[in-house]
Amino acid sequence: MSEANSHQTNELAELRALAAEYEAKLAAAASLVSRVRHEINNPLAALLGQAQLLLRDSELNEKQRRRAETIENQAKRIEEIVGELRSIQTPVRTLNRQDE
C-alpha cells in the first residue's frame, strides 16, 4: 500500500469515527426531545382540557371567558411548538457505512 493510500485510509477512518460520534449525539438529542415532548404534552393536555371545559360553562362572565380563551389559545400555541419538535425525533440516516 502506498503512503498516499495509507493516508487516505486513515482520513476515511477518522471521518467515519467522527460521523459515528455525531450520529450518537444526534440520537441522544432525539431521545431527549422525545422525553421533553412527553413531559410537556401530559400537563398541557390537562391544561387545555380544563380550559375547554371552562369555556362550556354558560355561567362564565365575559372577563372569565376571555381568560379561559387566552389559556386555551396559549396552550394550543405551545402544542404547535412542541409538535414541531417531532422532526428532530426522526432517525437520522446512517452516514457511517462501509463502501458499498
Q: What pLDDT was estimated at residue 27?
A: 87
- pLDDT tens track for 16-46: 999 999 999 988 888 899 899 999 999 999 9
In this prediction, residues 2-24 reach a mean pLDDT of 89
Q: HSE-up of 50 (CA within 13 Å, CB side)?
A: 9
pLDDT at 99: 45
What pLDDT was estimated at residue 91? 58
* Residue 97, phi-psi category: left (phi > 0), alpha (psi -120 to 50), beta (remainder): beta
Which three three-digit cell numbers place residue 32?
431527549
pLDDT in tens, 59-92: 999 999 999 999 999 999 999 999 988 877 665 5
The region, left, alpha or beta by phi > 0 then psi within -120 to 50, assigned to residue 8 is alpha
H helices present in the chain, as ranges: 3-56, 62-84, 86-89
